[in-house]
Amino acid sequence: MTHDIIQQNLRDGQIKSKRYYDQTSAEPVIQVGDKVLIHDPTTKIGECSKLKKRWKGPFMIVERSKDGLSYKLRHCDTGKELRSHIHINRLKKFNDDRDAFFNKHHVVPKSILDSPTSTTNDVNTDTDWYPIKEILKRKVQNRKEMFLVRWDDQKGSESWVSADDVTEYAIQLYYKTKEKTKRRKRRRQ
């Protein structure tokens, strides 16, 4: 008798706690391809816990679990994939894409508005730039990340470019297409 009353009170308390928790919780808004930071609560011996950087990254989300609570990540700087999945509670969205900010809010930077328009009609200058058609390969040379880029010009020229000179969007697109080709190869085997 008392055992049944205790069990019922426990169930009622669990339901009440869940209802209270669900009022403030929200579904995660992180998608595959987004950049995130990982929370690292550990402090090694000899480190000052007050000055330690708790958020590491940025990482790009490569894969999402079926339940949507854990994610497989790849480091944006090194391109290395983490061994294990990371739970959503340890992730927070990372936003550094300045171009996305300007496009989202329809803002034109002041430096572009104030600069005079170029009147040169010279075709072969070093200041000419072309949009990236696709990234073909990646390598690390002298501890610097480089990408083989096919330019969207008339010749379709290709050149090795430092990662600093390639947009984040193009790099993310490269990793996404690379991941898709890996999946296709796995299916064929």
Enter the tokens of residue 186: 């796995």
Share of the chain above pLDDT 90, in %: 13
Pairing relationship of beta strands 55-64 and 91-93 according to DSSP bridges: unpaired
Pairing relationship of beta strands 132-141 and 158-162 according to DSSP bridges: unpaired
The answer to whether 133 touches 150, Cβ cutoff 8 Å, is: yes
3-state SS assignment for residue 93: strand
- Residue-wise pLDDT tens digits, 86-144: 998 899 988 766 555 555 555 554 444 443 444 444 444 445 566 788 888 888 888 88
Longest dimension (CA), the chain: 93
Q: Which amino acid is at 21?
A: Y
The answer to whether 91 touches 30, Cβ cutoff 8 Å, is: yes
- Residue-wise pLDDT tens digits, 57-90: 888 888 888 888 899 998 888 888 888 999 988 9
Per-residue DSSP letter, 65? -
Q: How far apart are CA 22 and CA 24, in angstroms?
A: 6
Specify the pLDDT at position 72. 92
Exposed e or buried b per residue across 35-71, where buried means at least 16 C-beta atoms within 10 angstroms of its C-beta: bbbbeeeeeeeeeeeeeeeeeebbbbbbebeeeeebb
Cα 179 from chain centroid? Answer: 14
| Stretch 148-168: mean pLDDT | 82
Specify the pLDDT at position 16. 94
pTM more than 0.85: no
Cα 42 from chain centroid? Answer: 23
Enter the tokens of residue 79: 């391109």
- Residue-wise pLDDT tens digits, 20-43: 988 887 776 788 888 899 999 888
Residue ranges and CATH numbers for the domains of the chain are 2-96 (2.30.30.140), 131-188 (2.40.50.40)
**Other Cβ atoms within 10 Å of 138 Cβ, number:** 16
For the chain, where are the alpha helices, taking DSSP H only?
Answer: 2-24, 98-105, 110-114, 168-188
